[in-house]
Amino acid sequence: MVTKQEHQERKDKALKLTVLGCWAPYPHAGGACSSYLLQAAGLNILIEAGSGSLSKLMNIIDFRCLDGVIISHLHHDHYSDLFVLRYAIEGDRRGGGRKEPLPLFVPGVPRVPYEQLAGYSRAFITTPIESLPHQSPGRDFAIHTLNIGGLEFRFAPTKHPMPGYSIAVGQPGGLVFSGDTAPTKVLAYLAQKAALFLCEASGLDKDAEAVREAHLTAGQAGTLAREAGVGRLLLTHFWPGYDPHLLGQQAEKTFGGPVELAREGETYLVRK
C-alpha cells in the first residue's frame, strides 16, 4: 500500500527540468531568452516563454503536448513567444486539435499586457497569479499556491521593476526558480533546502550597483544559495555579452562549492 505521502515523494523525485532559453534580455546567436520545460507526474509545463523558446521547445516536444504555461513576470524576455504560441494553438484548435484552450498563469499586472493575453481566449485560459489561494508564512508577504494535475506550485513575490514571482515546484526541498529579482528574504525563505535552485545571475560583481533593486549578481546568487542551504545551484538569465563561466566562478566563491551553468537543451533531474 503506497501512502499519499510516498506517492507525492515519488512524483517529486521525478521532476525533470530542460533549459530551453537562458539568455536575457535578448538571445545569444542561435539561443533563446528565458524558458524552461518542466516534466513531472506525466505533465509538460512551460515555465517562461522568452524569444526563440517555442522553436527550442519543438526540438523536444510538440507544442500540442503542453499542459500549462506559467510566466513569472511580464517582461518581454520572459513571455514574448506566447504571441506565436497563440497562433499555433488557435490553428490547432481550428483543425480539430485540442478541445480546450491552454491554461496560462501570469501576474495580473501590469494591466495592459495582462489584458492583452487574457483577450486571446481561443488560445489561453488566463489566470492571474494574484487570484490563486494564498498562505502568509511571514507578516509582509504571501505565497500563492497552484495545483496542476497533482503537481504543486508556490509563488513568492520578487523585487523587480515590475511585479513578479519566484516559483517553487513540488514539496519544499524540490525545485525553486528565482524569476528576476534582487536579493530578498522571501526568496531566501522559498529556496530553503531546495534540491535544485535555478537562479538568475544577471551581472558580475562589478555590476552590483547597476542591477541593484532589480537583479542578482552571480556572487549574490551564490550567497543566497549558500544561506538557503540548497543542494545544487544552477545559474541562468545570462547577459549575452558575458562569458557564463566568469559568472560561475564568481558564484562559486560565495556559494563555497561547484556551481552549474544553464545550457540550452540540457535536462536536469531534481532529486531530493
Nearest approach in angstroms of CB 11 to Zn ion is 29
Nearest approach in angstroms of CB 71 to Zn ion is 11
Cβ proximity to Zn ion, 11 vs 215, nearer residue: 215
Listed ranges 130-138, 142-150, 172-180, 216-224: which one lies at the site for Zn ion (CB under 5 A): 172-180
Cβ proximity to Zn ion, 89 vs 176, nearer residue: 176
Question: Which of 52, 57, 45 has its CA nearest to residue 15?
Answer: 45
- Cell for 169? 515546484
Listed ranges 73-81, 82-90, 167-175, 226-234: which one lies at the site for Zn ion (CB under 5 A): 73-81
Helical (H) or strand (E) element with 260: strand 260-261
Listed ranges 20-28, 81-89, 203-211, 228-236: which one lies at the site for Zn ion (CB under 5 A): 20-28
CB-based contact 198:175 (threshold 8 Å): yes
Residue 152 touches Zn ion, criterion: CB under 5 A: no
Residue 264 touches Zn ion, criterion: CB under 5 A: no
Binding test (CB under 5 A) with Zn ion, winner from 75, 144, 159, 232: 75
Binding test (CB under 5 A) with Zn ion, winner from 48, 81, 180, 264: 180
Q: Is 37 left (phi over 0), alpha (psi -120 to 50) or beta?
A: beta
Question: Which of 156, 98, 106, 113 has its CA nearest to residue 129?
Answer: 106
Binding test (CB under 5 A) with Zn ion, winner from 27, 70, 74, 77: 77
CB-based contact 252:235 (threshold 8 Å): no
Residue 15 Cα distances to 76, 177, 237, 249, 260, angstroms: 27, 13, 21, 27, 18
Listed ranges 17-25, 55-63, 92-100, 113-121: which one lies at the site for Zn ion (CB under 5 A): 17-25
CA–CA gap between residue 55 and residue 68 (Å, rounded): 17
Nearest approach in angstroms of CB 163 to Zn ion is 11
Nearest approach in angstroms of CB 150 to Zn ion is 30
Question: Which of 231, 163, 159, 218 has its CA nearest to residue 191?
Answer: 231
Residue 24 touches Zn ion, criterion: CB under 5 A: yes
Listed ranges 23-31, 61-69, 108-116, 251-259: which one lies at the site for Zn ion (CB under 5 A): 23-31
Give the DSSP letter of residue 68: E
Give contact residues for Zn ion (rule: CB under 5 A): 24, 75, 77, 180
